[in-house]
Amino acid sequence: MRRLIGLLTTPIAALVALLGILLLLLVPGLHRRRTLARWTGRAAVTAGGCPIRVTGAENLPAGHCILVANHASYLDGIVMQGVMPDRFAFVVKREAGSVPLIGLMLRRLGAVLVDRSGVASRGDAGREILARADDGEALAVFPEGTFRGQPGLGAFRAGAFLTAISAGVPVVPAIIRGTRAALPEGRWAMIPNRVQVEILAPVPPPPPGPGQARRYAATVRSVMLEALGEPDLTVPTP
């Protein structure tokens, strides 16, 4: 029954999202566009039968920070856009910027498009992210880089944590639940399901030094694994 309802509600959600994207092309001002994207993202996911509940919002620092979240579904970006304050810029892989309309929308929202194909490209991306952090923007990152069909938390890329150490800002872990069931890998229609975003306490950065970024990433990842309650996908299954 939920799948049938999803077939009916998904076109409504898509229509809401498309309307929001079109308005983003017209609305002036980054702050206004991000506000519009927050409303649209939350409305689209809710229209698809997936109401969003946020807990721990008081854990977001008033100052600069880097938020990292687990990645379980294509819905994650829309969900996080729908719940994060306007001061957050999302770090997105550059391939998304080449998708018609989506790429234009990401640029209109001030997303950071990163190319991870080579050492030089990763260095350029790191410098841009650090410049954003130094300029006072808060950043949101999916450190797994991609998602898988099975439940669990994958390996973290260290870039966000290196940036946090370099900029001297805390990393804020966030847990997304329910999106994998709402839009499983390989499906286009949403399945009505409750979605929850839990924002955990900030983890302060360690002092700069060799290997600190990876140790920092491991510390934050262990906190997220405990809160998420899903398998560690870096541990081989017997």
pLDDT in tens, 86-104: 989 998 887 776 777 778 8
Percent of the chain beyond pLDDT 70? 90
Is 136 among the domain residues? yes
Q: What is the CATH number of the domain that holds 193?
A: 3.40.1130.10
- Evaluate whether residue 237 is within a structural domain: no
User: Whole-angstrom Cα distance, residue 106 to residue 76?
Assistant: 15
Number of domains in the chain: 1
Beta strands in 70-150 (DSSP E): 88-93, 112-114, 138-141
- Which band of pLDDT confidence, cut at 50, 70 and 90, is reported for residue 114? confident
In-domain check, residue 234:
no
Q: Which residue in 80, 67, 85, 86 sits closest to 201, CA to CA?
A: 67
| 182-224 confidence digits (pLDDT tens) | 998 888 889 999 999 999 999 999 999 999 999 999 999 999 9
Question: Checking phi first, is residue 192 left (phi over 0); if not, alpha (psi -120 to 50) or beta?
Answer: beta
Whether 233 maps to a domain, the answer reads no
User: 88 in a domain, yes or no?
Assistant: yes
Task: Output phi, psi for 149, to 5 deg.
Answer: -70, -35
d(CA 163, CA 167): 6
Q: Collapse the DSSP code of 218 into the 3-class scheme (helix H, G, I; strand E, B; otherwise coil) and give the result.
A: helix
What pLDDT does 120 receive? 40
Q: Which domain holds residue 206?
A: 2-228
- The verdict on residue 50 lying in a domain is yes
Tell me which residue has tokens 């206004």: 32
Joined tokens for residue 230: 């899903």
238 domain-assigned: no
Answer yes or no: is 198 within a domain: yes
